[in-house]
Amino acid sequence: MATRYGLVLNGTTIQELQSGDTIIGLTSSTALQKGDGSTGLTAATAGTDYLAPPSGTAILKANSGGALANASAGTDYAKPDTASSWTAAQRGSISTLTDGATITPDFALANNYTVTLGGNRTLANPTNLTAGQSGSIFVVQDGTGSRTLAFGSYWDFIGGTAPTLTTTANAVDRIDYVVRTTGSIHAVFTANYS
């Protein structure tokens, strides 16, 4: 009769361990152990007997052989300071600005905004400006219409002249912007969308 060493789950079947089979287990030692081919356990070797993560703190991925490897920023995951190629559409939400006598966008919240004017208003200089940020602001007249919009000193329009809104009730205009510096926002106004 053969010596029995125990059972092991192998995929969906249970197999009997035989002399010479390699097993991996834990002992009272803090190191991972493996069967030594007879009756004892010896230290298991990372990368040979089990998958070990690369050293240091890293984002990991499984390579084509199933082993762990370091993932690459911009290829395997998006990293803010690394160029990335996107294979699907990317989008941000449209944040609603609070209507009031002075409307102050917080540019840390979104890139795209909408506001419905309930009176004559001023679009103040935004907070949290970062050079390079771009987006759009949809300016909507309420059901009454005839609302006007003045602009803070950071807003730079073509020719140095602030635009005149479409004043029809429920009219929609759009301001597209690019933050050039923390004190200058280049803006383009497009009127009367339907």
Distances (CA, A) of 36 to 5, 6, 26, 51: 12, 15, 13, 19
Which residues are 140's β-sheet partners? Answer: 116, 172
Domains of the chain: 1-50 (no CATH), 53-90 (no CATH), 94-193 (2.60.120)
The tens digit of pLDDT for each residue in 135-154 reads 999 999 999 999 999 999 99
Q: What is the mean pLDDT of the chain?
A: 81
Do residues 152 and 125 lie in contact, with contact meaning Cβ atoms separated by under 8 Å?
A: yes
Reported pTM: 0.62
- Give dist(CA 139, CA 176) in Å, integer: 11
Amino acid at 161: T
- Give dist(CA 102, CA 190) in Å, integer: 22
Identify the band that residue 103 occupies on the pLDDT scale cut at 50, 70 and 90. Answer: very high
For residues 99 and 67, the model is more confident at 99
The tens digit of pLDDT for each residue in 126-135 reads 999 999 999 9
For residues 156 and 24, the model is more confident at 156
Distances (CA, A) of 127 to 94, 123, 149, 193: 17, 12, 18, 27
Provide the pLDDT for residue 7. Answer: 47
- Give dist(CA 175, CA 113) in Å, integer: 10
Provide the pLDDT for residue 91. Answer: 87
- Give dist(CA 95, CA 113) in Å, integer: 5
Provide the pLDDT for residue 36. Answer: 63
Identify the band that residue 62 occupies on the pLDDT scale cut at 50, 70 and 90. Answer: confident
- Supply the DSSP string of 5-66, one letter for each residue: --EEEETTEEEE--TT---EEE-SSSSEEEE-SSS-EEE--BTTTB--PPSSS--EEE-TTS
